[in-house]
Amino acid sequence: MFEPKIVAFFCNWCTYTAADLAGVSRMKYSPNVRIIRVMCSGRIDPELIVKAFEKGADGVIIGGCHPGDCHYQNGNHKTLRRYKLLKGLVEQFDIEWERLRLEWISASEGEKVQRVSNEFTEQIRVLGPIQMKGGRVVHG
Amino acid sequence: MAEKPTVAFYWCASCGGCEEAVVDVAHGILDIVNAVNIGFWPVALDFKKGDVEDVPDGFYAATFINGAIRNSEQEEMVKLLRKKSGLVFALGACAHLGGIPSLANLTSKEEILEYVYRRSPSTENAQNTYPAKVYRDAAIKLELPEFFDRVYPLNQIIDVDYYIPGCAPPSELVADVFMKILKGELPKKGAVLSPNKSLCSSCFLNDTKPEKLLIKELKRPHLTVIDPDKCFLLQGLVCMGPATRTGCNERCIHGGMPCRGCFGPLDGVLDQGLSMLSALGSILDFTPEQEKELDGVIGKIGDPAGTFYRFSLGASIFYRQDGKRGGE
């Protein structure tokens, strides 16, 4: 069975804390998800996301605070805008936009981390390995 | 008199504008010609490939290559020139980042050839001529250069020492680079020979940009009456200034048009298009409750890749695996 590699950028204040909660509560969830903690979802440069794809991630999850809860007031507003812009762009490069997912998960929603991770892993498993046009070997 | 150094010029997939930028050095070109020998310049003087093959390795002190790499003939020539040259300069946006020709990377080789040779409304091709690498008939066998399925910036094919950005590079910049070479003032290898600052930082409209730039709509230049005295981003036009290197003397802004990004990204930026996308995400003034309006505005960017990567698609990280940077 195809085991997708998934990179998850979780914000320090809400989603990462929720993942911690899932952990200490011993909730089991898909081990395909590799979590990277960032201070705010608003600091996730689109470059980091595409770089994750380029390095072989089959899917990327962005986790941030619910609107209104951002530790930095409106970092997650920027996340949403960049996410929407990026979705339009990745499609032009023949990457399914479903490989990119944004979720608002608060610090108390450990079970949402579990659910989203499992759901997303299954979704990417169905999509199969990522194909990037750039995967071709450079001449010479 | 000491021996004059020899320089070479070559062009690949490009429009000829970069050659024009060299010629446009005008009076200054005489100073350059006094200081160097031109050893190879097919666009202006009669040279053949054999002339390059005949010189010893490293013979050309500096070689200026403009244009992206689209086919195997160009690949062969630049590899040959690399061997015969001390320094290789990527001249102009196409050699630097892929340029306009690299927008073709969004379309497959088969689609391009099919359209050009069969389907375009102006095609008359009764004999069904179609490019092939090898052509045979009873008497002859011909081999033609192979059309690659992608357009490559120069540094994905050969090692490049310096980059002269721009579409086309301003002739003052070209003259300046010549002087730097002659005086031995070149920076460390891999540098883009233009200041490492964004266009906004030197733009004369920067003063009209408010402290906190926020916009509610996006407009397209050809459908808008543009106020030439006000920051274009503030007017809702996608001006690539925040994500583009300066050094062009704001040619387009002076002409009343937003920046299109031909000088490429700043040092340390992996991908110019994503850098601009990120900047735009910061200034679009919509909250999550206004998601519908946001979708509507984003939908107005008809061609995101063509807008954000007009000159840098070939160098985008969507297409590369080696992790090399635009200017490194």
* DSSP letter for each residue of A53-115: HHTT-SEEEEEEPPTT--TTSSHHHHHHHHHHHHHHHHHHTT--GGGEEEEE--TT-HHHHHH
Of A74, A77, A84, the CB nearest to B298: A84
Q: What does the pLDDT read at residue B108?
A: 85
pLDDT in tens, B107-136: 888 889 999 999 999 999 999 889 888 888
Query: Which residues of B make CB contacts under 8 Å with A?
Result: 69, 72, 75, 79, 105-106, 148-150, 152, 156-158, 269-271, 273-275, 277-278, 280-282, 284, 286-289, 291, 294-295, 298, 301, 303-305, 308, 317-322
| Same domain assignment for residues B161 and B217 | no
The nearest alpha carbon in chain A to B159 belongs to A140
The nearest alpha carbon in chain A to B107 belongs to A93
- A68 φ, ψ (degrees, to nearest 5): 95, -20
Indicate whether B283 belongs to any domain. Answer: yes
Q: How far apart are the CA of B272 and the nearest CA of chain A, in angstroms? A: 9
Cross-chain residue pair A138–B317, CB shorter than 8 Å: no
> What is the pairing mode between strands B69-71 and B141-143?
unpaired
- CA dist B210 and B206 (Å) reads 9
Q: How far apart are the CA of B219 and the nearest CA of chain A, in angstroms? A: 16
Of B72, B282, B320, the CB nearest to A78: B282
| Same domain assignment for residues B175 and B231 | no
A79 alpha-carbon distance from chain centroid: 12
| Same domain assignment for residues B233 and B158 | no
| Same domain assignment for residues B144 and B289 | no
Indicate whether A12 belongs to any domain. Answer: yes
At residue B323, does pLDDT exceed 50? no
Indicate whether B193 belongs to any domain. Answer: no
Indicate whether A140 belongs to any domain. Answer: no
Indicate whether A26 belongs to any domain. Answer: yes
Q: What does the pLDDT read at residue B324?
A: 41
Indicate whether B235 belongs to any domain. Answer: yes
| Same domain assignment for residues B74 and B119 | no
Show the tokens assigned to A50.
């595409």
Indicate whether A108 belongs to any domain. Answer: yes
Q: How far apart are the CA of B289 and the nearest CA of chain A, in angstroms? A: 9
| Same domain assignment for residues B172 and B225 | no
Cross-chain residue pair A86–B277, CB shorter than 8 Å: yes
Contact yes or no for A117/A8 (Cβ under 8 A): yes
- Angle at alpha carbon of residue A73, lines to A67 and A79, rounded to 5°: 55
Contact yes or no for B241/B200 (Cβ under 8 A): yes
pLDDT in tens, B160-210: 999 999 999 999 999 999 889 988 999 999 999 999 999 999 999 999 999
| Same domain assignment for residues B156 and B88 | yes
Cross-chain residue pair B321–A54, CB shorter than 8 Å: yes
| Same domain assignment for residues B49 and B175 | yes
Indicate whether B45 belongs to any domain. Answer: yes
Indicate whether B71 belongs to any domain. Answer: yes
| Same domain assignment for residues B285 and B208 | yes
Domain total in chain B: 3
Indicate whether B188 belongs to any domain. Answer: no
- CA dist A122 and A30 (Å) reads 9
Show the tokens assigned to A86.
């990026």
- B2 band by pLDDT with thresholds 50, 70 and 90: low
Of A84, A134, A139, the CB nearest to B294: A84
Cross-chain residue pair B148–A78, CB shorter than 8 Å: no
Q: How far apart are the CA of B177 and the nearest CA of chain A, in angstroms? A: 29
At residue B99, does pLDDT exceed 60? yes
Percent of all residues in chain B with a pLDDT value above 90, rounded to a whole number: 74
* Chain B hits for A88, Cβ within 8 Å: 298, 301, 304
Cross-chain residue pair A88–B301, CB shorter than 8 Å: yes
Long-range Cβ pairs for the range B257-262 (8 Å, 24+): B257/B221, B257/B226, B258/B221, B258/B226, B258/B232, B258/B233, B259/B199, B259/B232, B260/B310, B260/B311, B261/B308, B261/B309, B261/B310, B261/B311, B261/B312, B262/B93, B262/B99, B262/B165, B262/B166, B262/B167, B262/B310, B262/B311
Boundaries of domain holding B80: 6-100+150-183
Which value does ipTM take for this structure?
A: 0.91
* Chain B hits for A85, Cβ within 8 Å: 277, 280-281, 298, 301, 304
CATH code of the domain covering residue B45: 3.40.50.700
* Chain A hits for B304, Cβ within 8 Å: 85, 88-89, 92
- B14 band by pLDDT with thresholds 50, 70 and 90: very high
Q: What does the pLDDT read at residue B321?
A: 52
Residue that wins the pLDDT comparison between B239 and B2? B239
Q: How far apart are the CA of B184 and the nearest CA of chain A, in angstroms? A: 32
Distances (CA, A) of B200 to A81, B90, B173: 22, 25, 19
Give the number of other Cβ atoms within 10 Å of residue B58's Cβ.
11
Q: What does the pLDDT read at residue B150?
A: 87
Give me chain B's average pLDDT, please. Answer: 91
Best of B109, B160, B277, B307 to disrupt the A interface (most A CBs within 10 Å) is B277
| Same domain assignment for residues B214 and B66 | no
Question: Is the bond into B243 cis (omega within 30 degrees of 0)?
Answer: no
| Same domain assignment for residues B56 and B160 | yes
Q: How far apart are the CA of B152 and the nearest CA of chain A, in angstroms? A: 9
Q: What does the pLDDT read at residue B302?
A: 83
> What is the pairing mode between strands A59-64 and A100-104?
parallel
Give the number of other Cβ atoms within 10 Å of residue B147's Cβ.
15
Indicate whether B328 belongs to any domain. Answer: no
CA quadruple B231, B21, B91, B58: dihedral, nearest 10: -160
> What is the pairing mode between strands A33-38 and A6-11?
parallel
Domain total in chain A: 1
pLDDT in tens, B237-286: 999 999 999 999 999 999 999 999 999 999 999 999 999 999 999 999 99
Contact yes or no for B86/B56 (Cβ under 8 A): no
The pTM of this model reads: 0.91
Indicate whether A37 belongs to any domain. Answer: yes
Beta pairing partners, B40: B8
Cross-chain residue pair B277–A54, CB shorter than 8 Å: no
pLDDT per residue rounded down to tens, chain A (140 residues): 899 999 999 999 999 999 999 999 999 999 999 999 999 999 999 999 999 998 889 999 999 999 999 999 999 999 999 999 999 898 888 889 999 999 999 999 999 999 999 999 999 999 999 887 643 333 22
| Same domain assignment for residues B92 and B234 | no
Indicate whether B268 belongs to any domain. Answer: yes
Of A85, A132, A134, the CB nearest to B281: A85
- CA dist A107 and A103 (Å) reads 13
Contact yes or no for B125/B117 (Cβ under 8 A): yes
CATH code of the domain covering residue A22: 3.40.50
Indicate whether A97 belongs to any domain. Answer: yes
Cross-chain residue pair B317–A54, CB shorter than 8 Å: yes
Boundaries of domain holding A131: 6-135
- B137 band by pLDDT with thresholds 50, 70 and 90: confident
